[in-house]
Amino acid sequence: MSETTPPYRPRMTQAGLTPTHPVTAVDEFGDAREVQVAGEFPLTLYVDKREIVTLMTLGAHPEALALGYLRTQRFIAALEEVRSVQVTWDTEAVAVTTWNGVKGWDDKLKRRTITTGCGQGTVFSCTLDSLYSIRLPEVRVRQSLIYGVLENIRRHNEVYRRAGAVHGCALCRGTEVLRFVEDVGRHNAADAIAGYMWLDHMAGGDMLFYTTGRLTSEIVMKVAQMGIPVLLSRSGVTHMGLELAQKLGVTIVARAKGRHFLVYNGVRNIVFDRRPPRPSGPDSFNLSADYADSRRLKTK
């Protein structure tokens, strides 16, 4: 390619989505706050009208995501093979068209490895079909219990303390950690907890599920399938994860570190029995980096 030849670009649409959404959560003081949650959207990738995979994404860079996936998975070797990339959010699809077709589709799709990547978990249609028949029990969660769980969890992160690079999930009854699993992907750790519940003949109605990872729709789905009504995380929650929790009745407590937490869903189930002292002085509203830029809301 000469210096005067512009780089090749396939015909592409411009269709990004808003990556964050404002929601109202309740903090450890019982005060409502406006905070942002990350977007999460399913985007099904088609190549020459053949369905390849459904990716969960923020939605801000759908064309680049599709091309990058095809590149890193070695489906397409050169950008010049791509004729167009068409994103249609109405159908949650991105259609990639090639000039001459992709050779060896059957060989490429024959063997698949479920990776540890945070965005490439797997959900089957049978899971979705049974999801909305789930009925979770009513719960009451004391603030002191949340603090007790967080304190006890600190004693279990053995692999993380030695090496990092892992997620941890815990099954708790009260403040007691019944099972703690670390794995390279939070999906794996959650599935292992579900397996132990089967092996130990445990029902989830009086349980709390803790994870170090963010609360995506898939994690909410897994916890609901286990029959667990309370989900606690030191990380954040995605918009789709929150919407699914609201539909299924899962109480969501996230951004939980030290004495700070935010209740994104099910605040009526939280008993505020150990409110921490409020900071005083000019920085009294900068209570945590988690909502340093958020606006305090008036509450009744």
Tens-place pLDDT, residues 250-289: 999 999 999 999 999 999 999 999 999 988 764 444 444 3
pLDDT of residue 218: 87
pLDDT of residue 99: 93
Sorted by where each begins, the domain ranges of the chain are: 11-19+39-130, 133-296
pLDDT of residue 222 exceeding 70? yes
The secondary structure of 180-244 as a DSSP string is EEEESSHHHHHHHHHHHHHHTT--STT-EEEESS-B-HHHHHHHHHTT--EEEESS-BBHHHHHH
Instruction: Compute CA distances 15 → 18, 61, 96, 239, 295, whole Å.
Output: 10, 8, 14, 19, 30
How far is C-alpha 61 from the chain's CA centre?
Answer: 18
Query: pLDDT grade, residue 77 (50/70/90)?
Result: confident
> Contact, 182 vs 166, CB < 8 A?
yes
Least confident residue range of 16-30, 98-112, 285-299: 285-299
pLDDT, one tens digit per residue, over 113-152 is 444 344 444 454 445 667 788 889 999 999 999 999 999 9
Query: pLDDT grade, residue 235 (50/70/90)?
Result: very high
CB atoms closer than 10 angstroms to residue 62: 27
Least confident residue range of 57-71, 79-93, 149-163, 284-298: 284-298
Q: Is the CA virtual torsion 121, 123, 127, 128 positive or negative?
A: positive
User: Which CATH architecture describes the domain 11-19+39-130?
Assistant: Roll (3.10)
Average pLDDT over every residue of 193-208: 91
Instruction: Compute CA distances 255 → 25, 154, 238, 269, whole Å.
Output: 11, 15, 12, 18
HSE-up (13 A, CA, CB side) for residue 63: 16
CB atoms closer than 10 angstroms to residue 23: 17
Instruction: Compute CA distances 97 → 14, 48, 64, 111, whole Å.
Output: 16, 5, 14, 23
Cross-strand partners of 251: 230
Query: pLDDT grade, residue 227 (50/70/90)?
Result: very high
Average pLDDT over every residue of 210-216: 93
pLDDT of residue 87 exceeding 70? yes
Amino acid at 125: S
Superfamily the domain 133-296 falls into: Cytidine Deaminase, domain 2 (3.40.140.10)
